[in-house]
Amino acid sequence: MDNKAKVLLSIFISEKKMKKISFALFAVCLFCVAVFAQNPTIQQYLNIRSASSPALSNDGKRLVYLTNVTGTSQIWMIDLPNGQPKQITDYEDNVGFVRWSPAGSGIVFGKARGGDENTQFFWMANDGSGVRQLTADPKVRHNFGEWSSDGKKIFYASNKRDRNYFDIYSMEVETGKEELLLQNDGSNSVAAISDDGSKIVVSRSSVKFSLDNDLYLLDARTKQETHLTPHTEATQYSDVYFIPDGNSLILGTNQGKEFVGFSKMDLTRKTLAPINRPEGDLDATALSDDGKMFAHTVNREGFSEMYVSLAASITKKLTVPLPAQGIVGGLDFSKDGRTLAFTFSSAKHNSDIWLYDLNTKTVTQITKSDRAGIPQETFVEPKLIKFNSFDWR
């Protein structure tokens, strides 16, 4: 073979080697891209967004909620069923809650300043305009309770009198006139309001036990309170609602049992009777404005099960289909009781707002919070592992 042929052969072999090397490098690059695509950064996980605290308008045509899509939790509004989300507030601080008036007379929301947890209340019109501050003492903490059914007053707890204790107040939203309803050296909160606003159920934290509280019935006119739940062992009372007749309560309690379940209290006789035998703890609850429909979730083995029923027969319940095993919260009925808003989150679903249509018995996702570019299929679902304890329980 002459020198020219050898040179040509050498070039041919070199070209084949280069092609193999290029192909190998290309394959390595593809592998690296795949690896990095499957391993998001910590910053990406920190940038996953969420939506919570849904509240339906009086006519059921709008929904307000909180989302941290801008970095802090702000109020957004959407026209149902297919409108585009619109940002309503733009504060440096997080908005803590948002509640639509049951009479359609506006929206109340609260926010603290600089993370100091001293929440102040604000009012705005149904379209998000005309924001007006209702409380303006940055050294005082206000814990929202309920709207009155006519939308004229709000009820709440505040440590205005003494920073160590929370008293119960009401405020006329239009005038800002505040009234002290209960002065007590304890940690008090508003648990329920009767339709006419004349009766208030107050929850008071125990100083004797942990995971323990008491309920008191407060007459808003005479300012007199009646102890409703005397007991000797640590007991929890929560999720309190007045039945439309105003003479009975539905509430959740673990009194005399392992899990928190439903009970009914006769306010005349001050007697408490269990409604069901719970197999898991009662969690989120909601009663429709007309007092006819009831929704609740039960925490069973770490996951939520959601049910709707007639308030008069809670045990005859209908199971709400959920997207996956996860956690449900923020229940809120439309005024006509035909739509239920809620939040849902799971191992593969960041927290978002969903609607349940009681007529069609279907769920629809309303918000779709950003996952910061992380594929949903890469999130890992947990597995429940059971084993016997030392005493074989």
CA distances from 59 to 47, 335, 337, 365 (A): 34, 7, 11, 20
Report the alpha-carbon distance of residue 225 to residue 200 in Å, rounded. 9
pLDDT in tens, 8-34: 334 334 444 444 444 444 444 444 444
Report the alpha-carbon distance of residue 342 to residue 156 in Å, rounded. 23
pLDDT confidence band for 393 (50 / 70 / 90): low
CA distances from 11 to 1, 2, 7, 23, 53 (A): 15, 15, 6, 18, 70
Please determine, for residue 392, whether its predicted confidence score (pLDDT) is greater than 80: no
Q: What is the token pair recorded at 237? A: 């009372």
Q: What is the token pair recorded at 257? A: 């049992």
Q: Average of pLDDT values for 286-298?
A: 94
Report the alpha-carbon distance of residue 128 to residue 302 in Å, rounded. 37
With a CB cutoff of 8 Å and minimum separation 6, the contacts of 2 are none
Report the alpha-carbon distance of residue 147 to residue 333 in Å, rounded. 15
Could you report how far apart the first and last alpha carbons of the chain are, in Å?
87
Sheet holding 86-87, edge to edge: 51-56, 62-67, 74-79, 86-87
Q: What is the mean pLDDT of the chain?
A: 90
With a CB cutoff of 8 Å and minimum separation 6, the contacts of 386 are none
CA distances from 167 to 64, 67, 185, 251 (A): 29, 31, 8, 22
Rounded percentage of the chain residues whose pLDDT exceeds 90: 80
Neighbours of 279 (CB within 10 A): 11
Q: What is the token pair recorded at 357? A: 């249509």
Name the nearest CA neighbour of 63 among 261, 275, 343.
343
pTM: 0.87
Q: Is residue 250 within 8 Å of 311, Cβ to Cβ?
A: yes
Please determine, for residue 6, whether its predicted confidence score (pLDDT) is greater than 90: no
Which pLDDT score, from 0 to 100, does residue 37 have?
A: 52
pLDDT in tens, 356-371: 999 999 999 999 999 9
Q: Is residue 53 within 8 Å of 366, Cβ to Cβ?
A: no
Give 203 or 381, the one with higher predicted confidence: 203
3-state secondary structure string, the chain? CCHHHHHHHHHHHHHHHHHHHHHHHHHHHHHHHHHHHCCCCHHHHHCCCCEEEEEECCCCCEEEEEECCCCCCEEEEEECCCCCCEECCCCCCCEEEEEECCCCCCEEEEECCCCCCCCEEEEECCCCCCCEECCCCCCCCEEEEEECCCCCEEEEEECCCCCCCEEEEEEECCCCCEEEEECCCCEEEEEEECCCCCEEEEEEECCCCCCCEEEEEEECCCCCEEECCCCCCCCCEEEEEECCCCCEEEEEECCCCCCCEEEEEECCCCEEEECCCCCCEEEEEEECCCCCEEEEEEEECCEEEEEEEEHHHCCCCEECCCCCCEEEEEEEECCCCCEEEEEEEECCCCCEEEEEECCCCEEEECCCCCCCCCCHHHCCCCCCCCCCCCCCC
Which pLDDT score, from 0 to 100, does residue 19 have?
A: 44
Which pLDDT score, from 0 to 100, does residue 10 have?
A: 47
pLDDT in tens, 231-244: 999 999 999 999 98
Q: Average of pLDDT values for 321-340?
A: 95
Q: What is the token pair recorded at 46? A: 């920190």
